[in-house]
Structure 1
Amino acid sequence: MKQLDIEAIETLKEVMEDDFTILLDTFFEDSKLRLEDLRSNISSEDAEALRRTAHSFKGSASNLGALALADLCMRAESLGAKRSLEGADTLVNQIKDEYFAVEALLKSYL
């Protein structure tokens, strides 16, 4: 699966014009908070909170065309929905790595 839907990014950039930079900056800030929350959800063994955080992260990643990141978040959401944290550490590490790869790609649009 590719990391970014380039067509979606180009469309967003065209439609949002000057606000596109604000959108990306907000995504970067929110994503870093969500990464912290995912870690915290695991530390506190709160599968429902993991589900909610991953769901929210999935939505924002999807809106920006970050397909692989959205897919990983969907897997974390499903894990939380099953009230399980088995493998969550590994999955959150994958989400973190994918996020930073996406962030680097998106910064090229600024």
Structure 2
Amino acid sequence: MIDKTVLNDLKQLLGNDFTLLIDAFFGDAEPIMVSLNDMLVMDCDSVAQVSHSLKSISQNVGAISLSMMAAQLEQEARNGDVPDFEFKIQELSAMYQQVKNELKSMMADL
């Protein structure tokens, strides 16, 4: 789920500020996930925009699988068609929950 090498490098680089990065990830990711889950009708521009944001912030904390899923959703939205949109949002939400749980667990160990 999480590339621990990325997180360990960030811990060394940021020191005590590492927790601020993780808190910022949660602060940014939560509203993105709410936006995606609340979309009753797919708006490709909005999906592309929030997917791009999720892709970037996920990469920042080593959540490569989540980032790749968001990148695929972004690309499909930019192309104007997201097949199985609701299913993909459910998958993305499940992956986010796994990432969130893993990051919280890692933070508890600090």
Q: How does 1:17-96 map to 2 (within 5 A)?
A: 17-40=15-38, 42-96=39-93
What TM-score results when the alignment is normalised by the length of structure 2?
0.89
Alignment root-mean-square deviation, CA? 1.3
What TM-score results when the alignment is normalised by the length of structure 1?
0.89
> Aligned with 1:18: secondary structure?
helix
What's the CA shift string for 1:30-74, capped at 9, x where partnerless?
A: 11100011134x324311110010011000101111011011101
> Aligned with 1:17: secondary structure?
helix
Counterpart residue identity of residue 100, structure 1: Q
What is the distance in 2 between the residues matched to 1:45 and 1:72? 17
> Aligned with 2:81: secondary structure?
coil
Gaps of 5+ in 1: none
The 8 Å contact of residues 79 and 88 in structure 1, kept in 2 or not, is answered as no
Counterpart residue identity of residue 77, structure 1: E
Matched residue count = 107
Gaps of 5+ in 2: none
The match for 2:7 is 9
What is the distance in 2 between the residues matched to 1:37 and 1:101? 19
Q: Please state how far the C-alpha of 1:86 moved relative to its aligned partner.
A: 2.6
